[in-house]
Amino acid sequence: MKVLKFGGTSVGSVESIRNVKNILAAGEGKKVLVLSAMAGVTNKLVEITELIKTEDHSAIAVIIEELKTKHEETIDALITDASLNSKAKSFVANVLNTLQELTQSEYSETIYAEVVTTGETMLTYIFSTFLTHSGMQNSFLNAKEFMHVSNLENPDTNYVGELFQQTIKNLEATELYITQGFVRIDSKNQVNTLKRGGSDYSATILAAAVQAEEVQIWTDIDGFHNNDPRYVENTHAIAELSFEEASELAYFGAKILHPQTISPVIKRQIPLFLKNTFTPDLPGTRISDEIHSRGLKAISAKDGITAIKIKSNRMLMAHGFLKKIFEVFDTYETAIDMITTSEIAISLTIDSDRNLPQILEELNDYGEITVENEHSIICIVGEGLIEDKSTSRLFELLNDIPVRMISYGGSNNNISLLVASKNKIQTLQGLNQKLFEHQKTPQFV
C-alpha cells in the first residue's frame, strides 16, 4: 500500500483536481489518499474563528456563503451525473450547516479545530464522488475515526493502524481510500489539528500506521531545492536526501515539508517522495535511510526567531545554572533552537513568543536580559557537512553580513547561522554564491 498526499494548491482548482485524478489513474496498487482543503479555504475558516470571538455573525454568514458557492461550482464542473451531483451538494450543505451551528458557540480551542478542519471534509467527499462519477472505485473515510493522536511529538502509529483497520474492515474491498489531512482526535477525545501544514504529517503518521511501502507528498514544486527558489536564482532540485538531512531542512524553514513529517517513517524505513503535481514526470526528491553522497546539500531559512541573551557575572558558571534556565523554557513548553555560551552570558533562540512575557519575568531572576526580535536562522545541511573542506567558505560571509550566532559541531550534518531577518535574502544569496555557484557543476543533483 502507498500513501499519497496532495496539498491545497494541488486541489485548488477544477483543472488541478482532474490532474490529481489522472495521477491516481496512472499508478497501480492499493493507495490511501490524504487531501488538504482547497487552496484558500482554510484561511477563510481561520477568519471565521476570529469572527466568532467578536460575534460578528453577519460577516460569518458572508464567508459561509462564499464557501458554499466555491464548492458547489466545483461540484458542477466535475460531476455531471444529476444524482451524484445532488448527493455531493447535500453533503456540503450539511457540513456548512454544522459549521453555522458551531459559529453560535463561544470560542474555544475545540471550536477552532472543528471550524478550520471543515475544508478537508468537504473537499475529500467531493473528490471521492468525482472519482465515482469517473468510474474509479474508492471508499471515503472519516479521519476522525482513526487519526487518534494524543501526543503530537510522538504519535502512537500502532494504535492509529489498529483503528484504521477497524474502520475499513466492513467496507467493500477497494484499491483506493480517500481521507482528510490536518485533523486529529486528541488525548481528551476532542477534535484537534496537526497544526497548519499538518496534512504532510497526517500522511506519514498514516504510512507508518499501515506500514506503507512508500509515501508520496505532491505539491507545486519539484522536490527539495538546494536553496530557496523564491529568493535565489538558478536553484536545482535534489534527487536524494537522507532522513536526517530532510528533517533538518524541514525544521529550519524549508516550506515544502511540514517540520515533523519525517519522524513517523524513520523507524519503519519508509521512503518518502516529494513530487510536483503539475509536472508528474519529473523525479522529484526521494528521502530515505540511504546516504547517496556526503557534503553540502542545501540551505533553508526559518523566520520569526527571537534571540534572548542572559548575562550574569555571578551565576553563569555556578552548578545547575543552565538547568534552571532550561527549566523555565520547559515550564512554558517553548523549544530552544540555538544556544551559545561564554563565561558570563548565554544566548539562545526560540521560534514562538507566545509565552515570552512569562519566560522573561522568570529569567529576570538570573541576570540581565536582552531580547532581539525579527531574526532568521539560516541552516546549511549535508551528510558529514563539517568534514567537507568547501564548507569553510561560508565563514567568508562574516565579512559582508553581521551574524548574531553560529551553531557548529552540535551535528555533523548541520551548521546554523542567526541573522537579522532584514539580512536573510542577502545571506541566502551570498551563501549560494560562495557554496554552490563556485562549483562548475552541481555536486548533488
pLDDT of residue 387: 82
Residue 379 falls within a domain, yes or no? yes
7 is in an annotated binding site: yes
C-alpha cell at 94: 450539511
- Mapped onto helix, strand or coil, the DSSP state of residue 410 is strand
Identify the DSSP state of 106: P
Residue 45 falls within a domain, yes or no? yes
105 pLDDT more than 90: yes
120 is in an annotated binding site: yes
Residue 155 falls within a domain, yes or no? yes
If one counts the domains in the chain, the total is 2
Q: Is 26 found in the same domain as 159?
A: yes
Structural domain for 54, as ranges: 2-220
Tens of pLDDT along 393-412?
A: 888 888 889 999 998 877 78
Considering only CA atoms, give the Rg of the chain. Answer: 24
330 is in an annotated binding site: no
279 burial via Cβ count (<10 Å: 0-12, 13-18, 19+): exposed
Tens of pLDDT along 137-192?
A: 999 999 999 999 999 989 999 999 999 999 999 899 899 999 999 999 999 999 99
pTM over 0.85: yes
CA dihedral 111, 117, 123, 125 (to 10 degrees): -70
Residue 251 falls within a domain, yes or no? no
Q: Is 200 found in the same domain as 79?
A: yes
119 is in an annotated binding site: no
Q: For 3-7, 329-333, 344-348, 389-393, which range has the lowest pLDDT when averaged over its residues? A: 389-393
Identify the DSSP state of 107: P
434 is in an annotated binding site: no
220 is in an annotated binding site: yes
314 pLDDT more than 90: no
424 is in an annotated binding site: no
Q: Is 309 found in the same domain as 166?
A: no
Number of Cβ within a 10 Å radius of residue 246: 28
Tens of pLDDT along 240-284?
A: 999 999 988 888 877 778 778 999 999 899 999 999 999 999 999
pLDDT, the chain, mean:
92
Residue 138 falls within a domain, yes or no? yes
268 is in an annotated binding site: no
Residue 443 falls within a domain, yes or no? no
- Can you tell me the mean pLDDT for 94-114? 97
169 is in an annotated binding site: no
CATH number at residue 311: 3.30.2130.10
373 pLDDT more than 80: yes
Tens of pLDDT along 290-300?
A: 988 888 899 99
Nearest to 38 by CA among 6, 78, 81, 83: 6
Residue 232 falls within a domain, yes or no? no
pLDDT of residue 441: 43
Q: Of 189, 220, 251, which closes a domain?
A: 220
Q: How confident is the model at residue 344 (pLDDT cuts 50, 70, 90)?
A: confident
Is 224:254 a contact under the CB 8 Å cutoff?
A: yes
